[in-house]
């Protein structure tokens, strides 16, 4: 099901391929720290940027890895709703290559890596 915000999406299996083919892809996890403590994907490219921090610090909260507005970015949350909002927000601020992980970490766990579990 497409997200209600109209954010471009990438399916979990497409992201897995992109991660192999594009080592410079930036993967942002906008879940809160307590959610990351429950379920996390072990990948050094994932950068944790809680939505609550982004909401207060806005552009200042973004990591240096996304300074170039043409950077390829995938944004993830639990089910893909909050991350879709972040994707739209980034687009509104000039980023051009940004996608929402459809279904979030739940979909990743279901399709790619069931051993990480779900919550």
Name the pLDDT band for 2 (thresholds 50, 70, 90). Answer: confident
Rounded CA separation 47/111 (Å): 21
How much is the average pLDDT of 2-20? 94
Instruction: State how far the alpha carbon of 107 is from the alpha carbons of 7, 51, 57, 116, in Å.
Output: 17, 19, 29, 11
The residues near 33 (Cβ < 8 Å, ≥ 6 apart) are 48, 50
How far is it, in rounded angstroms, from Cα 24 to Cα 54? 22
What tens digit of pLDDT does each residue of 34-86 get? Answer: 999 999 999 999 999 999 999 898 899 999 999 999 999 999 999 999 999 99
What does the block give as tokens for 6?
Answer: 């109209």
Question: What pLDDT shows up at residue 1?
Answer: 56
The CATH number fitting domain 25-114, selected from 3.40.50.300, 1.10.520.10, 3.40.250.10, 3.60.15.10? 3.40.250.10
Q: Where in the chain are the domains?
A: 25-114
Helix (H, G, I), strand (E, B) or coil at 53: helix
Q: How far apart are CA 29 and CA 75, in angstroms?
A: 6
What's the whole-model pTM score?
0.94
């Amino acid at each position: 099901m497409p997200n209600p915000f109209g954010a471009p999406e990438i399916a979990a299996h497409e992201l897995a391929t992109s991660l192999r083919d594009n080592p410079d892809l930036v993967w942002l996890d906008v879940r809160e720290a307590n959610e990351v403590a429950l379920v996390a994907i072990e990948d050094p490219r994932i950068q944790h940027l809680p939505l609550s921090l982004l909401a207060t610090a806005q552009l200042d909260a973004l990591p240096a890895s996304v300074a170039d507005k043409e950077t390829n970015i995938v944004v993830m949350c639990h089910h893909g709703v909050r991350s879709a909002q972040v994707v739209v927000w980034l687009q509104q601020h000039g980023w051009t290559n940004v996608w929402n992980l459809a279904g979030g970490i739940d979909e990743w766990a279901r399709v790619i890596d069931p051993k990480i579990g779900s919550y």
